Chains A and B, each alone.
Chain A
Amino acid sequence: MSETNIDIVKQGLEKRYGAEKRFRIYGVCAIAASLIFLAFLFISIGTNAYTAFQQTFIRLSVYFDPEILGDTTNKESLASANFPAVVKQSLLKMFPEVQSRSEKKQLTSLISSGASYYVRDMFIENPALVGETVQVWLPADDDVDMLIKGHVERGVEEGERRLNNNQLGWIEKLEKDGNIEKRFNKIFFTTGDSREPELAGIFGAVSGSFFTMIVTLLFSFPIGVAAAIYLEEFAKKNRWTDIIEVNINNLAAVPSIVFGLLGLAVFLNFFGMPRSAPLVGGLVMTLMTLPVIIIASRAALKSVPPSIREAALGVGASQMQMVFHHVLPLALPGMLTGAIIGMARALGETAPLLMIGMVAFIVDVPSGFTDPATALPVQIFLWADSPERGFLEKTSAAIMVLLTFLIAMNALAVILRKKFEKRW
């Protein structure tokens, strides 16, 4: 009898191990597939983006001509002095053979229209430069930039290029003389938006996102945690708390645009808060993030072992002391993780921001909660829709920046959890 039993068991073994083996293969396949998708995403964005971290610069010998600048003692008039002419003159001096008006225009269009601002700032910082000649690297126009980076074919017919043969010739000469080179694109990381790709930067959007997220964190975390604690630890389980729970779960699944409409109606129209402000953006994101934080916090509270609660109650702690002294510190890592994941979701949202005017062209870097601002994903959206070729790589680069922030936030969530997690 026992022999036959063990025979039956042995016969079935192969099948059982086979099932296990198959399941392992499915698992490995699933992981491999998701890794491939991820790698594909990163590679495709990365290959588009990496060139954006470099920028083509042209070296000019800028002569601060006192005749063009006029009165250099008065700071007011200096700001509007004719620095573009200073830049143009320096460029023209490098190519003395260029004489006709249209050719001059073609030549000066090689340098960014924003170059004069850099020269101006340099001069305002050091007015003693008047009458001096200085070697300066100035950003090239985006068309030149695209050509140098190889995003535009030099071979196509003249009429179909944005740079004509004359301009190509000048660029080649600049290249030969070593007066044109790709350098690290500091502009991209330090300035706000611009309609000129070579002058556009991500910093304005990053600041906007930063202020928005600060507001979101300050509101959603305390409110969310307090709501979760009350619901989980104090509220009686009855029909009302059931209704609230169902509603919170539903809210977590509501499309984000709805929160934008709500924000428009409540914060802008009713409270009269300013349009396009990170403050309002943060409040809208708070509405969106709250359900996520509440759900995560409740889960974290539930996961605190009952033995800790009993221990606290057993020595005579009140309900509130039990929660705040023992349960909350243990649940906090889980709550923080939930909050950070909710925040990361909020960081990537554009739809609700559209309604409250944060999808906008904003050049000045915001310096406070009520300054007009935009946000990282909005910047990506706006650049993706811009006709200039130069914005293609900027779009990818901005996506890289956004992904970096998301990864950093998620990593922070992991670190916080590891650091504060207590064993029991």
Chain B
Amino acid sequence: MIIEKERAELENKREFISKKEPLVSRENRKTVGHPIVENPRMTCRNVNVYYGDKHAIHDVTLDIGRNEVIAMIGPSGCGKSTFLRCLNRMNDTIDFCRITGAISLDGKNIYDKDVDVVPLRAQVGMVFQKPNPFPKSIYDNVAYGPKIHGLVQNRVETDEIVETSLKKAGLWEEVKDRLNQPGTSLSGGQQQRLCIARTIAVGPEVILMDEPCSALDPIATARIEDLIDELKENFSIAIVTHSMQQASRVSQRTAYFHLGDLIEVGSTDQVFLNPLHQLTEDYVTGRFG
């Protein structure tokens, strides 16, 4: 198997990396661990991102598996959010952003010329750092996506999809009597769950979450984390987080980014308990970052 071979190569590299030496050299920042999985939902190969002259992401290779939660951690400015936003081409809106390499969804490179971003973003949904419901009613917030994509034909279907999405997002019981109130009237945690409901209403395959709990209190955070755990039954989820505890609670795999490099990928337990790379160890043990 190719994957086995790649893994073996990466394992070998570890031998060259001394835990004692200073790790500024780029040579020492090659990815270690298991970036490749079998039967992935999304694959990223040699992805580089440039903001104008700035080289923001260096040569990242990473897979996102099916029905798994992959957490991306790392110190501020390490490029994890930038990388996440490449996965549904949100960076397209930035004029001077340039991306090389290949990112594929179900085997199809999403940066190919014939790929339309509109259906892509329906397949790869996104939840943002700050809850950003539309300034519309709760109902309209959830119904908006299905409506523009033509997934619903009439009120009955819309009602149904709104209800199931809100139920999946664990918000139904709290809002079912006030669907016509503005989404912005909800609390922060509820708003974020509304945003999740809005995203899953379109029926995506992958959900990208960009620090979804950083603006929330611990109780709301716990609810979202439970929700993420439930959602992985149906979706692949990539979550960027500042909180290592959160990463360890919700994710199966963890990717550690450092200054634009993907340093280490592995099962969450392995990355936190037995990191292969000195930089990862420094970060997860709190010596750095």
Contacts and interface: CB of A to CB of B under 8 A. Distances in A.
B52 to A, nearest CB: 13
Nearest to B126: A314
Contacts of B119: 316
B232 interface: no
Given A237-B95, A307-B128, A321-B148, A314 B134 contact: no
A313 B90 CA distance: 8
A7 interface: no
Interface residues of A, number: 23
Contacts of A312: 134
Contact of B135 (A315, A318, A321, A424): A424
Interface stretch (B29-37, B195-203, B253-261): B195-203
Contact of A314 (B125, B130, B135, B201): B125
B182 to A, nearest CB: 8
B128 A313 contact: no
Interface string A308-334: 111111111110010001100110000
B145 interface: yes
B240 to A, nearest CB: 14
A424 B134 CA distance: 8
Contacts of A318: 118, 148
A316 B126 CA distance: 10
A309 B121 CA distance: 13
Interface string A173-201: 00000000000000000000000000000
A315 B93 contact: no
Contact of B125 (A236, A315, A326, A330): A315
Contacts, number: 70
A60 B98 CA distance: 89
Contact of A315 (B95, B184, B202): B202
Contacts of B121: 313-316
B144 interface: yes
B127 to A, nearest CB: 8
B65 interface: no
A4 B118 CA distance: 65
Given A316-B149, A424-B184, A310 B90 contact: yes
A144 B135 CA distance: 63
A237 B93 CA distance: 12
A316 B148 contact: yes
B95 A314 contact: no
B130 A307 contact: yes
A239 interface: no
Interface in A306-365: 307-318, 321, 325-326, 329-330
A321 B184 CA distance: 21
A101 interface: no
A314 B90 contact: yes
B144 A314 contact: no
B88 interface: yes
A309 B135 contact: no
Contacts of B247: none
Contacts of B234: none
A419 interface: no
30 contacts: A236-B95, A305-B132, A307-B128, A308-B132, A308-B134, A308-B135, A310-B128, A311-B134, A313-B90, A313-B93, A314-B126, A314-B199, A315-B145, A315-B201, A315-B202, A316-B118, A316-B122, A316-B125, A316-B148, A316-B202, A317-B118, A317-B144, A317-B148, A318-B148, A326-B134, A329-B135, A330-B135, A423-B184, A424-B135, A424-B184
Interface of A: 236-237, 305, 307-318, 321, 325-326, 329-330, 422-424
Q: Lowest 10 A-B CB distances belong to which pairs?
A: A307-B132, A316-B122, A315-B145, A422-B135, A314-B126, A316-B121, A311-B132, A318-B118, A316-B118, A424-B135
